[in-house]
Structure 1
Amino acid sequence: MKAFVLFFLLLAVAQAEPPPTLQLTLPQALDLAEQANPDLRLVRQGVEVARGGVTIAGQRPNPTLGLNTPIGPAERKQQVMFLVPLETGGRRDARLAVAESTVMEANLTTRQTRLTVLNGTRNAFVELALSRATLDQSRKDVEFNDRVVTAAQHRFEAGEVAEAEVVRAKFEREQIKRLVYPAENRVEAALVTLNRLLGQPLDTPIETVDDGWLFPTVADLKGPTWNLPDLPALTEMARKQRPDLALNAQQSQTAQRQIQLALANQAPALSLQASLLYNPAMPAFTYLAGVQLELPWGSDRGGELEQAQARREEAARREQVAQATADQAVALAWKKFEAARRQLSHDLEVLKPQAERVLYLAEKIYDIGQSDITEVLLVGQSVQRQRQLLLTDFALLHQALGELELAINANLVGGKP
């Protein structure tokens, strides 16, 4: 019976359809992340929790109803009491103000999380595209070495070179093949990371669609798309748009409201009391009215006020630190971006065409027997290294751009978050 059940379970797994392939541009990936990312869903629920705190803060104290019945012959009177607490010192308004500030903080935290998630999605999207380009380049390098092995084999069969050249060419090819495996693993890791950010099953196939900015040309880098504002303008943008700076400012306001709440809580508690007294011995009813006032003998709640004042000072200092950190982040990211753009421009404009020409000539010269295996392999290694560096420079450019967009909370190039 167990074998029968196991057979059908395996059959069901075998027949399960794989997830459909997602073909996404960057804007489409960002839209999907905003809808399905689990971290964003979690932080948005936190806003609802904070809103529930406003409802709780607005609630008033419940009245109290009591009954006193004597036990024993010494007393026969029975009493019904009704107690209504009054909130003095504006406690309810102060509580509501603090709760509303908490909601604002939750909204700003959501904005900050959204920024982080979308920036991470952008970086993961670029990493998947670049890792596939790296894998393709590694396979092309293997194809080049295949051609070298074939040429060496032909020359050996023609008696032009020793068998050692064929052996060396094959050895170099196997070394290049070894680079394919980590490139494949890099693609798989990038795919898992992007699926996690998109809220999709981790094995979902994704095809990145380049809408014109993933692999910019020299003309693109010199054009208006990649021509960013200067550093002072970017710094000003960051000061206006970064949610963490707004969150720190809101926390300072919340701390000030907590001081007002602490002051309100120092007001003595006041309650109105009404009682109905019944004496069965007479028999007769008596009505009583009274006031209860809290006496702050044990505690005047001064500690709450001191703590609230300390929090306000802490929030003010945190705000100053955050501002300095934001300015630093913008400056470093901008300098990194400018350096990466210059370096990539040089690679595309100078080194890439030279590398293609050098490799073409080295392969042709070896084919006609005008050079030995050492020369063509050295040229091949040099060109392969340059091609890998070119892809690395693409990655550095996008990494710097991502850091800069994160630092100022604004889209600069590509899809708009």
Structure 2
Amino acid sequence: MHRLFAALLAATPCASIAQAQTAPPADAGATQPQVAAPAISGPAFTVDRALELAGVVSPALEAASADVRAAEAGRRVAGLRPNPTITVEAENVAGSGQYRGTQSLEATTSLALPLELGGKRSARIAVADARTDRATIQAAIAKADLRLSVIRAYAEAASAERRLVIARDQAHIAGEGRRAARVRVQAGRASPLEAERANVALVNAEAALVREERAVEVSRFTLSRIIGQPFAGPLDANWFDHVPATHGPLRPIDSTGTLMMAAANADFASADASVRLARSQRIPDLTLGAGARRFEQTNDTAAIFSLSIPIPLFNNGRAAVSQATAERQSADARRRLAAIDVDQAVAWAQAEAANAATNAAAASGPALAAAEEAARIARIGYREGKFGQLDLLDAERTLAQTRAAAVDALLSYHVAQAQLERLTARAPIIQGE
């Protein structure tokens, strides 16, 4: 019987699980351990609600929104033309001789208007537009990152609650095992060593229960910090247990239009616009001036016209063009590298999500059912004296490990699926494109 029981356990592949909260099947002559309900009660706090709350209080979204507004303001600044300059001059005044006082005063009032040449204004606008587009994409990236963080924190909190249920169940089972061991020892059917083993198993189960209670507190606190407020009620167990069936090969991978590629393209567009701006800066601007001069002695006036142009003697703009060109080449290389990285990351994320879904879908398969049946048989056999205590402890340990593996598989699936959604998130449509 012992060999048959061991073979049954060895044939049980470690799987995952939606039935992680299910207690072992009832037996007519056995005391059935009940799965304790979570200490947290009330309506379920859903992941959609968590996402909604996080979107309202997220500092990352607030910062991204401010960056977009700053970029839009920068676009308006880039479109402004240079301000004109009014100059008032007084000559031949407060001197000596005939220039004493204001009798020889010559007052000049002139207006100077800078004229930008070489398309500087349109080049500035192009750079500002590219930066605005990049800020818009970055805001979408911040939103996608926040969604990933919320789902990961929610899944970790849900898995902690599920492990707490398992830990309570195991502590209850360990208590029942200690009572059964004491009965056997008192009846002279077992040595006192069995009672001590049962005590050790109970102590370990209670310690594990305390650890899982702390894990629940920490995971719920972490989620509450992300959403900006504490929340009541258990998490949505249906969401945590839901795993779609996955069949067939992985979906075709196309990084075009994803947030990562949109960001890389926006960086290149900004660098390209900067090259155009650097080239336009090489063309000197003109400053036109016009004014009037009044002569105090004769009370006559005369018009004044001026034209000034800087001489590009020391800085002709070539270095700035070389710098901008190198930065554009770097941005282009990073864009091509991003395409490779995104494709690889999506492929791995698809594989991880599919593998986790396959493991999680095995919850209703033979692994968990076999572990539960083995534990049930071991409990009955132990009470009837057909199995030893070590067989019982081994069966209970296998059941606990199978349930824990089930929770791990569900957690891995939700995290992998969230990561896949983050990688394949589509970029927003930029106005003007």
TM band (smaller chain): 0.7 to 0.9
What is the CA distance between 1:194 and its match in structure 2? 1.4
Once residues 189 and 77 of structure 1 are traced to their aligned partners in structure 2, the CA distance between those partners, rounded to angstroms, is 82
Structure 2 partner of 1:209: 236
Pairwise mapping of residues 102-251 of structure 1 onto structure 2 (< 5 A)?
Answer: 102-198=131-227, 200-201=228-229, 203-205=230-232, 207-210=234-237, 212-216=238-242, 225-227=244-246, 230-233=249-252, 235-236=253-254, 238-240=255-257, 242-251=258-267
Q: 1:78 to 1:228 in 2, by over 3 A?
A: farther
Check if 1:61 corresponds to 2:90.
Answer: no
CA distance in 1, matches of 2:332, 2:299: 68
Aligned to 1:269: 285
The count of residues paired between Structure 1 and Structure 2 equals: 378
> How far does residue 278 in structure 1 lie from its aligned partner after superposition?
1.5
Q: 2:308 and 2:184 mapped to 1: Cα distance?
A: 110
The aligned residue for residue 354 of structure 1 is 370
Aligned pair 1:309/2:325, yes or no?
A: yes
Paired with 1:102 and 1:21, the residues of 2 have a C-alpha distance of: 48
Alignment of 1:9-158 (within 5 A): 23-70=44-91, 71-73=94-96, 74=99, 76-158=105-187
Q: 2:412 aligns with which of 380, 393, 396?
A: 396
Deviations 1:277-331 (A, max 9, x none): 1211223111111211222122111222111111111110010111000011011
* Matched-pair identity in %: 22
The question of whether the paired residues in 2 share the 8 Å contact of 1:21 and 1:204 is answered with no
Cα distance in 2 for residues equivalent to 1:304 and 1:163: 87
CA-CA distance at 1:228 after TM superposition? 7.1
- Relative to the length of structure 1, the TM-score reads 0.85
Q: Assess, with a 3 A threshold, how the Cα gap between structure 1 residues 99 and 228 changes in structure 2: closer, same or farther.
A: farther
CA contact (8 A) 1:108 1:244 kept: no
Partners of 1:262 and 1:229 lie apart in 2 by: 52
1:105-128 Cα offsets, whole Å, 9 max, x none, are 000001111111101111111111
Q: In the alignment, what sits opposite 2:308?
A: 292
Q: Which consecutive unaligned segments of at least 5 residues does structure 2 have? A: 1-40, 427-433
Contact residue 45 and residue 231 of structure 2 kept, 8 A: no
Q: Which runs of 5+ in 1 are unaligned?
A: 1-19, 411-417
Match of 2:421 among 394, 405, 411: 405
CA distance in 1, matches of 2:390, 2:234: 39
One-letter code aligned to 2:317: R
Distance change >3 Å, CA 62–CA 228, structure 1 → 2:
farther
Distance 1:229 1:101 in 2: 41
Change (3 A) 1:196 1:169: same
Stretch deviating more after TM superposition (61-70 or 154-163): 154-163
Output the CA distance in 1 between the equivalents of 2:154 and 2:43: 12
What value does the CA root-mean-square deviation take over the aligned residues? 2.1
Q: Partners in 2 of 1:327 and 1:82 — Cα distance?
A: 59
Using CA pairs under 8 Å that are at least 6 residues apart, name the structure with larger relative contact order, 1 or 2.
2
SS at match of 2:240: coil
Structure in which a larger fraction of residues adopt helix: 1
Instruction: For 2:406 and 2:52, locate their aligned partners in 1 and report how far apart those are by CA, in whole Å.
Output: 30
Post-superposition offset of 1:165:
1.6
1:382 alignment partner, one of 359, 381, 398: 398
